[in-house]
Amino acid sequence: MEYTARQIADMLNGDLEGDPELKINGFSKIEEGEEGTISFIANPKYSKYIHSTKASAVLVGRDFKAENGINTTLIRVDDAYQAFAKLLTLQNNNKLNTSGISTKATIRENAKVGRDVFIDDYVFIGEHAEIGDNVKIFPHTYIGDNVKIGKDTILHPGIKIYNNCRIGENCLFHAGVVIGSDGFGFAPQTNSNYQKIPQIGNVIVEDNVEIGSNTCIDRATLGSTVIHKGVKLDNLIQIAHNCEIGENTVIAAQVGISGSTKIGKNCMIGGQAGFVGHLKIADNVKVAAQSGITSSIKKPGQVIQGAPAFDFGKYQKSYVLFRKLPDLYDKINELEKELKELKQTNKND
């Protein structure tokens, strides 16, 4: 990007104090400001940096006051953080504002490709796949046969989407994501071998879903593994066959969810938590990081911790006493000793 301070102030309905012709071509944190960049101050804790920052312009609140003279150009706005985020989004969108289909990509003849798509080198798109308008697909990404990708979705490099899966609109998947690999299902045989249970369902990812790097979502045995709209998945997550993740649920990195577990809407799942299979988790549930969830949760909004997980507050209390166990142990032994002495005294009386 390259804008003048005047252009930025106008975009943000801000008031400019300083050089309107100042050229801005990047962003910085206030404490690491560099020439030519714009920064922001939203938290008063950072106000002091207004004097030392090397950022050429700074977004501040309408009522921002600095004690001494300021060398940097100020742009006063209603909410400095939101204004800054707006600029970032604009810049981000510009960066991705590219289209065209590489001659070094494979698109099978009977695949359908929408308008204004970007398909880069070494992308593979299988038979009967349908790619919506304005979709962007980065190098080394694989789209299997019969896959549908909704409009405005962005697929970063090296993603693998198996046959028959469906991806919604306006999704963002990061590098190395795997969608639709086989669920982990085996029937034990009498000779202690296992026979594979074929996994012929698919994965459905609805609109506005973001999925982090190297996260894996397995296809259903039959039917669909479903990621509902607005879900946000971090990196390296495992979602097994036939799971369902409710609208706007947010799941942190390295969580594992076993087969057929259904998670409600608006849940927040901490990193490295694990769920056994066939559970049903209510809406708005919060799960502490590293918890192990072994039974269904019926109460919406419950907050749980532990392995197996139970009420968060109770876990905290138990854990405080876990740390004190050596003291408790000493106390019990002391009580035992005193009791013995007392009995002895009584006997001697």
Find the binding residues for a second copy in span 128-187 (CB under 8 A). Answer: 138-140, 142, 156-158, 160, 162-163, 172, 174-176, 178, 181-182, 184, 186-187
**Number of helices and strands in the chain (H, E):** 5, 40
Q: Which residues pair with 269 in a beta bridge?
A: 251, 287
Q: Is 278 in the site for a second copy (CB under 8 A)?
A: no
**Under rule CB under 8 A, how many of the chain's residues touch a second copy?**
101
User: What minimum distance in Å lies between the beta carbon of 69 and a second copy?
Assistant: 26
Q: Identify the helix (H) or strand (E) that includes residue 125.
A: strand 124-125
Query: Based on CB atoms, which residue is closest to a second copy, 48 or 265?
Result: 265
Q: Which residues pair with 77 in a beta bridge?
A: 61
Task: Indicate which single residue of 124, 128, 286, 312 sits in contact with a second copy (rule: CB under 8 A).
Answer: 124
Binding residues among 67-86 for a second copy as defined by CB under 8 A: 85
User: What minimum distance in Å lies between the beta carbon of 275 and a second copy?
Assistant: 9
78 and 62 in contact (C-beta within 8 Å)?
A: yes
Q: Is 11 in the site for a second copy (CB under 8 A)?
A: no
- In angstroms, rounded to a whole number, what is the distance separating the alpha carbons of residues 88 and 337? 69
Task: Indicate which single residue of 44, 67, 325, 348 sits in contact with a second copy (rule: CB under 8 A).
Answer: 325
What is the b/e burial string over 127-164, where b = at least 16 CB atoms within 10 angstroms of the residue's CB? ebbbbbebbbbbebbbbbebbbbbbbbbbbebbbbbbb
Q: Is 296 in the site for a second copy (CB under 8 A)?
A: no
Task: Indicate which single residue of 60, 234, 261, 304 sits in contact with a second copy (rule: CB under 8 A).
Answer: 234
75 and 57 in contact (C-beta within 8 Å)?
A: yes
51 is annotated as an active-site residue? no
Task: Indicate which single residue of 42, 240, 243, 245 sits in contact with a second copy (rule: CB under 8 A).
Answer: 240
Catalytic residues: 241
